[in-house]
Amino acid sequence: QTDFGRHGYGKYTNGVGRVPVGIGNRRKRIVVTGGAGFVGSHLVDKLIARGDDVIVIDNFFTGRKENVVHLFGNPRFELIRHDVVEPILLEVDQIYHLACPASPVHYKHNPVKTIKTNVMGTLNMLGLAKRIGARFLLTSTSEVYGDPLEHPQKETYWGHVNPIGVRSCYDEGKRVAETLTMDYHRGDGVEVRIARIFNTYGPRMCLDDGRVVSNFVAQAIRKQPMTVYGDGKQTRSFQYVSDLVYGLIALMEGEHIGPFNLGNPGEFTMLELAEVVKETIDPSATVEFKPNTADDPHKRKPDISKAKELLNWEPKISLKEGLPRMVDDFRNRILNEDEGRGS
Ligand code: NAD
Ligand code: UDP
Ligand code: UDP
């Protein structure tokens, strides 16, 4: 038994029949779509460090070459500028499918493109997985639970989602992506895995992506008030990115399809988050209230019993430990930005 695909060896079917690839070479060949983004680039670092060959596919909509530039020149790393909405031919053992804008500001920017990415992008990656016998992992989201009527959320909860709202391109898009994933599994025998990721933060998040952690941290560093939307009593659970990366790899390598909630069960109101950012960065930081956005879920907290039991995984890094780890990265980038503007 080798690591190369379901059938025991890698192969391509370009008219010359099945050709074994890399026999005797037990390194895995892995595609990470969205690998130049925040989560993707941390995942790629871990896979490269483990000794795998990694191909990143990214169209740089929200990702940046800077996130993977330290890997340029590494013969086990390859970067392809490609939009997953278009088909692609590759030969690999595993596909981590992350490509999709994740911040509300980004995914609402061009909602139809967000849907195409979720539907056609996921379809293409599943078609690829089917053709080459690769294992496919979908990064779905806690947003499939919508504005939840069950708290905390278990994987068995079907969700409470507005199909015609401004968030629908993302949450309904991910719901279809999950459906496609299960149909390729049931219909075509593709080996699949589904992760439902809860709010994640860490170094390399886009500075101005509008997500709450990146906003508060950047605002506190720039000595601007932290913008709290609505009354600030809505809750989220914040997971440090390295915990997520361990979870994704445990899921890919394990025997269970999922879906699995991957998140940190620590639950905070936005006002409590602002307090932690204040303690971490600047005791004189202030908050400013702003009107909330439409369809904002009131609360969110994962029940992670299933991942604990079947993947032997749980997050290790609390918000108070994790926040300081992203501050240096944010400070440096904000400083560079200011210098770039000549200030
Ligand atoms: P990100 O925006 O930093 O990364 C997404 C990457 O996908 C970017 O590099 C972007 O350029 C790329 N991309 C977008 N559309 C593409 C397309 N059509 N073709 C090719 N590449 C494309 O976001 P992230 O936080 O790293 O999220 C990664 C994945 O995890 C996403 O699928 C997201 O839905 C999921 N997720 C993230 C969170 C979170 O809190 N970070 C929570 C739930 C789910
Ligand atoms: N696909 C791809 N790379 C591959 C195989 C398929 O991008 O190596 C795309 C293909 O172009 C199609 C999608 O994946 O749009 C679904 O493929 P599948 O074979 O399941 O469906 P079909 O091509 O029969 O519609
Ligand atoms: N939020 C906030 N201030 C900001 C950005 C976001 O209070 O500057 C709130 C937002 O209304 C939501 C929560 O923070 O209730 C999380 O928002 P985010 O965009 O980070 O992620 P979501 O979980 O909504 O996808």
Among 81, 98, 145, which residue has the most ligand 1 atoms within 8 Å of its CB, making it the best to mutate?
98
Ligand 3: atom nearest CA of 226 is 8
Where does residue 149 fall: left (phi above 0), alpha (psi -120 to 50 degrees), or beta otherwise? Answer: alpha
pTM over 0.90: yes
For the CA of 226, the nearest ligand: 3
pLDDT 10s digit of each residue in the chain, 343 long? Answer: 233 333 333 333 333 334 344 444 568 999 999 999 999 999 999 999 999 999 999 999 999 999 999 999 999 999 999 999 999 999 999 999 999 999 999 999 999 999 999 999 999 999 999 999 999 999 999 999 999 999 999 999 999 999 999 999 999 999 999 999 999 999 999 999 999 999 999 999 999 889 999 999 999 999 999 999 999 999 999 999 999 999 999 999 999 999 999 999 999 999 999 999 999 999 999 999 999 988 888 999 999 999 999 999 999 999 999 999 999 999 999 988 877 765 4
Residue 170: active-site member: yes
Ligand 2: atom nearest CA of 188 is 20
The ipTM of this complex is 0.97
What distance in angstroms lies between residue 237's CA and the mean position of ligand 3's atoms?
11
Buried b vs exposed e over 180-216: b needs ≥16 C-beta within 10 Å?
bbbebbeeeebbbbbbbbbbbbbbbbbeebebbbbbb
What distance in angstroms lies between residue 183's CA and the mean position of ligand 3's atoms?
32
Distance CA 55, CA 84 (A): 13
Distance CA 284, CA 261 (A): 36
Q: Which of 107, 170, 184, 246 is catalytic?
A: 170
Nearest CA to ligand 3 atom 18: 211
